[in-house]
Amino acid sequence: MVNPPTIEKSLAWDLDPRMNEDERMESIEEKVAVLIGPDALQVTYLGAGLTESDRHTLSKVIQKNKDLFAWIPSDMPGIDPKVMCHKLFVFREAKPIAQRKRKMGTERKLAVENEVAKLLEAKFIREIQYTTWLANVVMVKKPNGKWRMCTDYTNLNKACPKDAYPLPNIDRLVDGASGHNMLTFLDAYSGYNQIQMHPQDEEKIAFITDSANYYYRVMPFGLKNAGATYQRLMNKIFKGQIGKNMEVYVDDMVVKSNNLDCHITDLIEVFHQVRRYDMRLNPEKCVFGIAGSKFLGFMLSARGIEANHDKCRAVIDMRSTQNVKEVQRLAGRLTALSRFLPCLTEVAKPILGLLRKTNKFVWPEECEMAFQALKLRLGTPPILSKPDPSSALVVYMCVSHEAISSVLIQEKETQVPIYFVSRMLQDSESRYQLLEKVALGLVHTARRLR
């Protein structure tokens, strides 16, 4: 074992522009690094809660499959185009648009040059002389000070129909991944870039720089239907594992088991599929054998599903709102936590009512009382359970003049909450008879939980 490296990884191969997104997977327990390559920095991570014996067992499995990890882009063979490639479908009437080159400051210009050099060395891009569609690059500074190079494909995206390939239901994935004693979170190395562009569409995704124009040979970030293509690939690769011992949402992958022996078997099965399709993993972002982690904005552990503490803290630390924009921000944060908040719309009614008013903004006492009540609830949010098909499920409802609320309960030794649902009644609905409101509440709850 080695300690996690303190030296910041070289910028040379930092090609994943989404590495700092808030919703990315993140272990909620300590982790330790295990060396899997000849270089001192070539490590991946194990849960610190594992016993020394369990760490050794897991490390052996990882070592046997170390060829599945990529350290630089040349380690990636890429997905066979016969298996999956990204094809653009452009409306026939759409006319190609070449964006005018935008001015850029010196610091951003240097950052573009560095990124282009990395992409050229990785053979992800190629220079082009004659273009039809042409887009500008946009440089965004990450919180860690590094630069993220994005491409403004706004015009091209408008000219393409939406790929309606169904993405997994997040609540169902979270339910499926929770309640397991051992989890492993996997991350593909520069995942989108492992998928090649269809040769006929490569030149459509050209971008402009100070020195030359280039086009991507691999699927870049920013294209309208890239997420659907990636999910389609994941569903194909892990068809036999999803829902059984694995959950996948685009490029977030979690392997789930109840004990170490099962986890070893499950990992070997997943590694077999990764090798079969020539996918490569990012060792720096993989964590093996942990008891809990953030996943799709929730906290997962053997205890169940918990609210994201950072999201709760974001509401608790908010000041009383001063304008409509701040109310909108508060409403968005509460919506993200609604699964954990009983009777949310009933409690937050005075606050939500401010979004409908067009006159001068006023934060009355009833809004402040509701705000403080919500903060109090978020201080100790309930731990939710995933549904158990072998136990009875019960829906409790609360109907008022202006809102309907319900909770799905699992009947075990005690009553365990699974999901809270709440919504405001429209003006006409508020005049329903009590029985009609109950029926409406049941329909809404059934649709929300199906």
Q: What is the average pLDDT across 358-386?
A: 90
Strands 287-290 and 43-47: parallel
pLDDT, one tens digit per residue, over 134-190 is 999 998 887 778 888 889 999 999 999 999 999 888 888 888 888 889 999 999 998
Residue 178 burial (10 A CB sphere; 0-12, 13-18, 19+): buried
What is the SS3 assignment for 328-388? HHHHHHHHHCHHHCCCHHHHHHHHHHCCCCCCCCCCCHHHHHHHHHHHHHHHCCCCECCCC
pLDDT, one tens digit per residue, over 200-214 is 999 999 999 998 999
pLDDT, one tens digit per residue, over 305-320 is 999 989 999 999 999 9
pLDDT at 18 over 60: no
pLDDT at 124 over 50: yes
Average pLDDT, the chain: 88
pLDDT at 26 over 80: no
Radius of gyration of the chain (CA): 25
Which amino acid does the sequence have at 250? Answer: V
- pLDDT, residue 14, reads 40
First to last CA, the chain: 46
Collapse the DSSP code of 323 into the 3-class scheme (helix H, G, I; strand E, B; otherwise coil) and give the result: coil
Q: What is the average pLDDT across 24-30?
A: 65
pLDDT, one tens digit per residue, over 245-268 is 999 998 889 999 999 999 999 999
- Could you tell me the pLDDT band of residue 353, with boundaries at 50, 70 and 90? confident
pLDDT at 111 over 50: yes
Collapse the DSSP code of 416 into the 3-class scheme (helix H, G, I; strand E, B; otherwise coil) and give the result: strand
Lowest-confidence pick of 76-80, 144-148, 191-195: 144-148
Q: What is the average pLDDT across 273-289?
A: 95
Q: In angstroms, rounded to a whole number, what is the distance separating the alpha carbons of residues 223 and 163?
A: 11
Q: Domains of the chain, with CATH numbers?
A: 1-295 (3.10.10.10), 309-379 (3.30.70), 393-449 (no CATH)
pLDDT at 197 over 50: yes
Q: What is the average pLDDT across 87-96?
A: 95
pLDDT, one tens digit per residue, over 35-47 is 988 888 889 999 9
- pLDDT, residue 377, reads 93
Lowest-confidence pick of 2-6, 265-269, 361-365, 402-406: 2-6
pLDDT at 116 over 90: yes
Collapse the DSSP code of 91 into the 3-class scheme (helix H, G, I; strand E, B; otherwise coil) and give the result: coil
Lowest-confidence pick of 60-74, 81-95, 237-251, 410-424: 410-424
- pLDDT, residue 30, reads 82
- Could you tell me the pLDDT band of residue 20, with boundaries at 50, 70 and 90? very low
Q: Which residue in the block uniquely carries the two structure tokens 């903004």?
A: 361
pLDDT at 114 over 50: yes
- Could you tell me the pLDDT band of residue 15, with boundaries at 50, 70 and 90? very low
Between these two residues, 14 and 39, which has the higher pLDDT value? Answer: 39
- pLDDT, residue 7, reads 27
- pLDDT, residue 299, reads 87
pLDDT at 434 over 70: yes
Token pair listed for 218? 């691999």
- Could you tell me the pLDDT band of residue 27, with boundaries at 50, 70 and 90? low
- pLDDT, residue 9, reads 34
Collapse the DSSP code of 213 into the 3-class scheme (helix H, G, I; strand E, B; otherwise coil) and give the result: strand
pLDDT at 361 over 50: yes
Query: Percent of the chain beyond pLDDT 90?
Result: 66
pLDDT at 19 over 50: no
- pLDDT, residue 365, reads 93
